[in-house]
Structure formats: structure tokens, C-alpha cells
Chain A
Amino acid sequence: MMATSEHSAPTGAAGLRNRFQTAWHVLPWLVAIVFFFVASGYLSLGTQIMIWILFAISLDLALGYAGIVTLGHAAFFGFGAYVAGILTVRATGDPLIGLLVATALTGLLGFVTGILTLHTKGVTFLMLTLAILSMIYEYANRAKALTGGDDGLQGMSLDPLFGRFEFNIFGHTAYIYTLVVLFLWFLIAWRVVHSPFGRSLDGIRQNPRRMRAIGTPVWLRLVAIYTLSAAMAGSAGALQAYATRFVGLSVLSLFTSGIVAVTLILGGTKRIYGAFIGVTIYFLVQDYTAKIDPHLWEFVIGGLLIAVVLFLEGGLMSLVDSARNGLARLFKRSNRT
């Protein structure tokens, strides 16, 4: 686990190592900020990547940490997107209120569906998540007046953020807004997984019987993390609606659930940062190979996934670990001499 070395007091070599680790934590955010200034032509791709990182972290909380094997996570992403979209069209164009309402309502959806389904497990639970996803999809398809049906929800016009920053076609505001929301959720997720609560989830994933025997209310814990995970996915969906100013039925498709699972497994589950790597690789591969051949990216991603699952336990993050450890050793050696 990542946190095991965090208990040691920061003295001497340990302090040096801690500073070294902190540097790694800064890296992804630094990349995101530098990207904003140097790659302004690719901001919409960058925004898309960050939205999906958020979505993938939300799945990591449920699937990676708590072992809730779901294929219905698109329900929360799509629900958040539709709530944000419909609010913008019908009630208010304020992107802050919209995001908060979408997050809260999706959390509520997670809470209710969690209460109804989380006493089941394995294939039964998997089927229930699929059923709930299909029901919401079909509702969105039928409720044309509200959602636009299969034409999608159009005509979203957003107010400027804080009354100042326009959501323009270059996507500057959407990029920064997404980055800030991702960062806030990242802090929450990081704290949650390293708290006694998070550790109990890891225990539940491994052995619910053991956890019951030490007095853990297993079902309640699962409902709690499922609610949080849903709220987070709802935020990601809302950001998606704002970034593209359009919500289509595809946000609620099984394919969306599948892709987020693929990105998470590519990057590595139970790591938080796995989502960063998996999603980034996925979108970069998609972007580059699609230029060569529209179907090539599926082939490449499929191959990559097979390779990772077969040869890299812990996903691409395990490569990052090896690189980190190698660098740390080099660093240590050069310090000694």
C-alpha cells in the first residue's frame, strides 16, 4: 500500500524520501497546468481526460477499494449529465448550482439503489446494476420532452462562472473548472481511502466475514461508499454536460460503463493515480490512432488491455512504481557518494 511509509517521522533520509514522494504528488497537477498554457489547441481533449479521470476514480472507490463489482456506473455519470443539462435548459445556467445539484441528486440515486441492491453480491449484484442502468437509459430515451430522447439534449446555454468567466468555444473556462473540481474530489478520495473507513472497505473487499467478526457494519459501509462514488460520478457527468454543452443517450450506455472499467484496469485499481494513467493513455491512443484508421484504436486498446491484464498485475501504475523505485535508488546512491 502507498501509505505505509507515511507513518515514519520525517527525519534525515526519511525526510528526504518524503519530499521525494511529495514531488510525485505534485507532478500530475503540474502537467495539467502546464498543458493549459502550452497546448491551448487541445484543451477540449484535456478537459475530456480530466472528466474521465474523475469518473474512473469514482469507480475505483467502489470497484477497486470496496470490491463492488458493477457494470452500471454509467447510470450515475449519465444521470449527473442529464440533471446538469436539464437544469441548464429549464432552470438556471449557473454552472456552480447545477454541479452541486447534479452531484447531490446523483448521490441520492446511489444511496437509494445501493440500499436496494448492496445486500446482494457477485453476479446477482452485477445483473441488478445492469438492470438499473437499462431502466434509466430507457427512461431518458422515452422522456423526449425532458431529455430530447435520442436526439440528445440541446440548447444548453451556460452563465459565466462567478459571473465573469465565459464558457467559450476554446474551452479555457471548462478546462480550469474541471481541473479544480477534479482536484477537490481527488483530495476527498485520497482522504477517504487512507482513513480507517477506507481501510475497512479494503477489508470488506478481501473478507466480509472477517470484518463482521471485528464488528464492522458491512452493508452500511458499502452503502456509504457507493453513495460517495455515485455523487462523484454524477459530478463527472455534469462536467461532461458543461464541457460539450450537449447530453446524448450514449452517456447512459453500457459501453460507457465498460470504457471506464477498461481505463481503470489499464491504469491499475486501488491506487487513485491508476485512473490518471489509464484514462490518459486511453484517450491519447484513441486520439492518435483514430487519425490513422477510425477503428484502429479499439484494436490497440484491446491489445493493451490484454497485455496489462496478463503481464502487469496492478496495471500501468506498477510500471510507474518500478520507475519510481529505480529513480529513488539512483537518487540515494548519488547522495551517498
Chain B
Amino acid sequence: MNDAAEPILSVRGLCKKFGALTVAQSVDLNLESGARVGLIGPNGAGKTTLVNLLTGVVSADAGSILLGGEAIDKLKPEDRVHRGLVRTHQINTLLVENSVRDNVAIAIAERERYAWRGLRFTRQWRACLEEAEERLHEIGLAREADREVRHLPYGEQRLLEIAIALALKPQVLLLDEPGAGVPSTEAHIIHEVLDRLPSAIAILIIEHDMDLVFRFAHEIIVLVQGMVLTRDVPEKIAADPKVRAVYLGKCVL
């Protein structure tokens, strides 16, 4: 971790309660550009809630979120996306009636805010389709470009989730269990794509698959009951008795 670098995403004291249940308790989190940070923790630790808080799907009770030095906690989810904070979903969230190419092209059209500019749309849309084609090529889905998403195998749908997120040109990318539901025989495809993600993007990856996290992340944050237990390099996390205790079910708090 480079201490001199200004963090692209900076979270301070983020809190959220659902009734009596505390899901985020004064969470601090910094991501520098190019960061590869893993977020792990037992079920119900509040990992996905943290993603929802960051993206604005759920509003926080307290705390601040700065993206590139600007406060974004008052912004609507769609505006945060336009600022460069992009997520993928744990469960595939795709336009299943559209082709693979259209799924990416629609995202590009949103990125370029073409929707309100109606006049030259034929050319604009063609440009979106061409860029989508390139994006699919990069991620290895070009063969499937014309296929309707509902007929696409699950593992490739996971890739499409990532391709759409990348098409939005994110500064910060939150990957919510990219490997979820992918059979182990196909997991290497996800691994390869993650390895080739553009190095400038700051990435926070939530994952249950420890192989994947320890391969990918340069740093790991352990979240327990909405609190950051520890943050360190993978080797130390693996050796940390507190972390082991959490995963083996012994109460340390």
C-alpha cells in the first residue's frame, strides 16, 4: 500500500442499522487507484450491505463517502455510477431478452448519456454497438455477441456482468462475488478475466471462494458483524488467529 497516494474512494465512519440489527458499524475504508482489495467475512457480516451503502441502493445512517475527493453520499445511485463508482451483482442482473451485445451497448449509451439526445441516434447507437463488440472481444465473449442472454450459460453471464461494469469506465469497481454459482470447472475463466482487469481501476472484491480472493487481492479486509476486524496482506490474514477464530465460529468479540 502506497501511503502517499490520495485514495480514490474514501469511506469514514459508515453506519447502518436495520431496526436493532447493526449491519455497518463505523466502517472506514480507503481504496487507492489500482488497489486490489478483498472483502471477506462470515455470512451476515454485512459485505453486500456495504456494497449497497457505497452504491447508494441503501442509504447510510451516518458517515461519509468520498469519491475522488468529492462527497457522494447525497447522490442518487445512478449519479454515483456516472461519477465512476460501479458494481457487479452477486446474482446475475441482466437484460435477459436482449442479446449479449445489446446488454453492453445499452450500458455504453447510458455512460455517454445518449438517451436524452434523440436526433442523431442511429449513428450513436451504431457506435455503442461497435464499442460493445470490442469490449466483448476483450473479455472473451465475442462469439456469443448475438446470443440472447437467457440462453447464455451461467458462467458466461457472470462474465457479462463484469463486461457491462467495465464498459462504464469505472474508477472504482465493486465486484460482489463474481465467482458465485460458477462450477469449479469453469472458475478458471473468471480468474483469467479478473487477472486482466485494467490496472488503474480500484477494485473491491467480495468473495466466499478463498482461493479466488487470495489469488487476486493484494490486501484483505475482514468484516465481522458490520465491523472491520482487520486489514492486511493475504499472507498475514491467512495466519491471523482472530480471523481463523471467526471462520471457525469461535466468538472473539
Contact = CB atoms under 8 A, between A and B. Distances in A.
A168 interface: no
Contacts, number: 87
28 contacts: A7-B129, A195-B114, A195-B115, A196-B109, A196-B115, A196-B124, A197-B116, A199-B125, A200-B109, A200-B110, A202-B97, A203-B98, A203-B106, A206-B95, A206-B96, A209-B93, A210-B93, A210-B94, A213-B87, A213-B89, A214-B106, A215-B78, A215-B81, A215-B82, A215-B111, A216-B78, A216-B115, A217-B76
A206 B115 contact: no
B96 A216 contact: no
Contact of A200 (B57, B77, B106, B126): B106
B129 A212 contact: no
Interface of A: 4, 7, 191-192, 194-197, 199-200, 202-203, 206-207, 209-218, 221
Which residue of B111, B114, B126, B128 has the most chain A CB atoms within 10 A of its CB atom?
B114
Nearest to A204: B95
Contact of A215 (B102, B110, B125): B110
Contacts of B86: 213
A213 B125 contact: no
Interface in B65-118: 76-79, 81-82, 86-87, 89, 93-99, 102, 106-107, 109-111, 114-116, 118
Given A213-B87, A213-B93, A214-B106, A200 B78 contact: no
Contact of A192 (B82, B89, B110, B118): B118
Interface residues of B, number: 36
Interface in B155-201: 164, 168
B121 interface: yes
A5 to B, nearest CB: 11
Given A7-B129, A214-B164, A214-B168, A199 B94 contact: no
Given A7-B126, A197-B116, A215 B168 contact: yes
A207 B93 contact: yes
Tell me whether chain A's interface is mostly helix, strand or loop, or mixed.
helix
Nearest to A210: B93
Nearest to B149: A206
Contact of B121 (A195, A206, A215, A218): A195
Contacts of A202: 95, 97-98
